[in-house]
Amino acid sequence: MSEVLVVIDHADGEVKKPTYELLTIARRLGEPAAVFFGSPDKGDAVAEKVKAYGAAKVYVVDDAQIKGFLVAPKAEALQQLAQKAGPAAILLPSTFEYKEVAARLAIKLESGLITDAVDVQEGGVTTQSVFAGNYTVRAKVTHGTPIITVKPNSAAPEQAEGAATVEAFTATVSEAARTAQVVATQPRQSTGRPELTEAAIVVSGGRGTGGNFEPVEGFADSLGAAVGASRAAVDSGWMPHAFQVGQTGKTVSPQLYVATGISGAIQHRAGMQTSKTIVAVNKDPEAPIFELVDFGVVGDLHTVLPAATEQVTARKG
Amino acid sequence: MNIVVCVKYVPDATADRKFEDDYTVDRVGVDGLLSELDEYAVEQALQFREKREGEEITVTALTVGPEKAVDAVRKALQMGADSGVHVVDDAIAGSDYVATSLVLAKAVEKIRETAGSVDLVVCGMASTDAAGSVVPAMLAERLGLPQVTLASVVESQGDQVRIKRDSEGSTEVIGARLPIVLSVTDQSGEARYPSFKGIMAAKKKPLETYSLADLGVDASQVGLSVAWTQVEDTTARPPRTAGEIVTDEDGSGAGALVEFLASKKFI
Ligand SMILES: Cc1cc2nc3c(=O)[nH]c(=O)nc-3n(C[C@H](O)[C@H](O)[C@H](O)COP(=O)(O)OP(=O)(O)OC[C@H]3O[C@@H](n4cnc5c(N)ncnc54)[C@H](O)[C@@H]3O)c2cc1C
Ligand SMILES: Nc1ncnc2c1ncn2[C@@H]1O[C@H](COP(=O)(O)O)[C@@H](O)[C@H]1O
């Protein structure tokens, strides 16, 4: 069976959930071989994690020479790895970074690229959600090695024992690839809440919060949810951009999305329309968001949310 | 110094966007416009020029697309770009990212030949139709340039460019030396409206139209038939079945909401 390269999404060796989803999907296409860009001393620990999701091999690519440079070195490394392994497909997490890696890789390998897949089936047929979630498109790569970036929550991770044989891979990275450089980073403060794109429940607030996100955060915490925001809330400076849901923010597809004080503009819908269950609280019965909802409350979020929070907490109590 | 700003003509996101029978995006039946996200690219290209007073800097707006796509270039000229290039050829229809980036790269090379240099290529963060956010990286790969993407703040001095951007878990400052491919987000600052003067001036600005032959691209390298990806089918999302809507009266809304969430096992 051919290898399927799966690029591991991680922060400092901390493997993220989408990696397990990718490995689960990869098993439909061949034998998963995970690719870890990181510090080699974390290789074994990472291998242990991906082993449980069927990784037959783990390529450890020492990132000492490429860390701090943008995209191009990783594309070169993956090109070299693909030439050696001759994979049936290459799967990457659909983050901005890896979409760009995939873009460069597609040109290098003369291979078709499909971005933002929400499903990949046997034979490499992908499903994408397009036009703000109003259409689904099924497509296939027909030239070269299929390169597919896959969105979070595209599959339920299924465990399967893999050999997870660790293999160091030394990439030759050109000077030309090491040009755009990170000169400073400021880590964002962790909120202690679930990651927006990975969360099972998201509670978002918009202009209707009037800048007071406490009711939104309180309700989110009672449900163990992530907090999101509309662009209006972000543009007003009430929430950092990292919390924005929509076309130019994050796309989320949780089990439950709660939109409060959000009108439901097409650009906002683009980021949440594929959520399984949608609930809205809005004081305007005509708000377009109500066209999407499974359940809606016409009311003031500043009174509805705190009361609901209290009741949820009491039920859980 | 020469700047090229890549602008895409896209179907209006607020209209009913749809597909043709061959699964390509309907670019004729739906009203189109300059992708809103590329307005930010034009704005940053213009600001780049304006901030570097005393230097001779030209901004060329470039689009690859059907006849009507020239509207995207015109809008950029009205906003203040100096010249425009429209690549149009029947063979391009249905091109995927790979082919589109090829044509864009060849057009940038052609502009470079004429102008002497291209120091900066500015793109939007994503097109509002395909929304791949991959063309800038592909263009950079093809042109052999670094790519500096998703900028919310752009600063430059001499041949050094610094940008600020939001990345996964942090805010980053990225540094690179021109020439580069840059992409900017909608956080980079409101795009200007064309003034009446700008609209009048735009009519006299040079606007070139190139075919594939002008760029030395063979028709067999682009278009739907040679795309490296193939669409099998497209399906309109079934309309969501109308949900239950209650009106909050004397606190009844919260109870109903919690009841609903519990019935769905979210609590
Ligand atoms: C290129 C482009 C990209 C964009 N990208 C995004 C994006 O990624 N994400 C995004 O969200 N938007 C995006 N937008 C903006 C989008 O078009 C809308 O402007 C935005 O989503 C509106 O945010 P909102 O719903 O919070 O505000 P509004 O549209 O002002 O709606 C506020 C709502 O709150 C309700 N309300 C007010 N007070 C209360 C109260 N006390 N209790 C309950 N309800 C109340 C009102 O009835 C109203 O429905 C983009 C726009 C463009 C042009
Ligand atoms: N046909 C095109 N003509 C001009 N620029 C384009 C075209 N397609 C994409 N671009 C540029 O590439 C950016 C990203 O596009 P995409 O990768 O399709 O999301 C856009 O914001 C444009 O700046």
pLDDT on residue B22: 83
pLDDT on residue B119: 98
A230 lines ligand 1 (CB under 6 A): yes
Residues in chain A: 317
A265 lines ligand 1 (CB under 6 A): yes
pLDDT on residue B239: 81
Residues in chain B: 267
DSSP-assigned beta bridge partners for residue B33: B10
Nearest to B138 by CA among B112, B111, B184, B102: B102
pLDDT on residue B237: 85
Within a domain: residue B246? no
Any idea what the CATH number is for the domain that residue B63 is in? 3.40.50.620
The pTM of the full predicted model, rounded to 2 decimals, is 0.94
Within a domain: residue B42? yes
pLDDT on residue A144: 96
Within a domain: residue B195? yes
A250 lines ligand 1 (CB under 6 A): no
Which domain range does residue B104 map to? 2-226
Protein residue whose Cα sits closest to atom 48 of ligand 1: A263
Q: Smallest Cβ distance to B172: which of A176, A184, A256?
A: A184
Of chain B, the end-to-end C-alpha distance in Å amounts to: 60
Assign residue A192 a region (left: φ > 0; alpha: ψ between -120 and 50; beta: otherwise). Answer: left
Within a domain: residue B238? no
Nearest to B202 by CA among B85, B80, B87, B50: B80
pLDDT on residue B240: 79
Nearest to A148 by CA among B134, B186, B199: B134
Residue A298 near residue A285 (C-beta atoms within 8 A): yes
- Are A113 and B261 in contact (CB < 8 Å)? no
pLDDT on residue A294: 97
With vertex at residue B249, the alpha carbon angle to CA B244 and CA B253, rounded to the nearest 5 degrees, is 45
* Residues in chain B within 8 Å Cβ distance of A120: none
Within a domain: residue B221? yes
Residue A305 near residue A204 (C-beta atoms within 8 A): no
Within a domain: residue B63? yes
Task: From first to last of the 317 residues of chain A, give the pLDDT tens digit.
Answer: 799 999 999 999 999 999 999 999 999 999 999 999 999 999 999 999 999 999 999 999 999 989 999 999 999 999 999 999 999 999 999 999 999 999 999 999 999 999 999 999 999 999 999 888 889 999 999 999 999 999 998 999 999 999 999 999 999 999 999 999 999 999 988 889 998 988 999 999 999 999 999 999 999 999 999 999 999 999 999 999 999 999 999 999 999 999 999 999 999 999 999 899 999 999 999 999 999 999 999 999 999 999 999 999 999 87
**Residue B40 to chain A, least CA–CA distance (Å):** 12
Q: Which of A297, A302, A310 to probe by mutation at the B interface, max B CB count within 10 Å?
A: A297
Pocket perturbation via mutation, ligand 1, pick of B127, B166, B186 by most ligand atoms within 8 A of CB: B186
ipTM of the complex: 0.94
Domain count within chain B: 1
Number of neighbouring beta carbons within 10 Å of residue A152: 25
B129 lines ligand 2 (CB under 6 A): no
Task: From first to last of the 267 residues of chain B, give the pLDDT tens digit.
Answer: 999 999 999 998 877 888 888 888 888 778 899 999 999 999 999 999 999 999 999 999 999 999 999 999 999 999 999 999 999 999 999 889 999 999 999 999 999 999 999 999 999 999 988 889 999 999 999 999 999 999 999 999 999 999 999 987 889 999 999 999 999 999 999 999 999 999 999 999 999 999 999 999 999 999 887 889 999 999 998 887 889 999 999 999 999 999 999 999 999
Within a domain: residue B235? no
pLDDT on residue A133: 83
DSSP-assigned beta bridge partners for residue A129: A136
pLDDT on residue A206: 98
Residue B188 near residue B153 (C-beta atoms within 8 A): yes
Secondary structure in 3-state letters for chain A = CCEEEEECCEECCEECHHHHHHHHHHCCCCEEEEEEEECHHHHHHHHHHHHCECCCEEEEEECCCCCCECCHHHHHHHHHHHHHHCCCEEEEECCHHHHHHHHHHHHHHCCCEEEEEEEEEHHHEEEEEECCCCEEEEEEECCCCCEEEECCCCCCCCCECCCCEEEECCCCCCCCCCCCEEEEEEECCCCCCCCCCCCCEEEEECHHHCCCCHHHHHHHHHHCCEEEECHHHHHCCCCCHHHEECCCCECCCCCEEEEECCCCCHHHHCCCCCCCEEEEEECCCCCHHHHCCCEEEECCHHHHHHHHHHHHHHHHC
pLDDT on residue B24: 84
pLDDT one-digit tens code per residue, B84-112: 999 999 999 988 999 999 999 999 999 99
Residue B152 near residue B185 (C-beta atoms within 8 A): yes
Nearest to A109 by CA among A140, A141, A136: A141
Q: Smallest Cβ distance to B247: which of A11, A270, A299?
A: A299
**Residue B10 to chain A, least CA–CA distance (Å):** 11
Distance A151 CA to ligand 1 centre (A): 24
| Closest atom, ligand 1, to C-alpha of A304 | 42
Within a domain: residue B167? yes
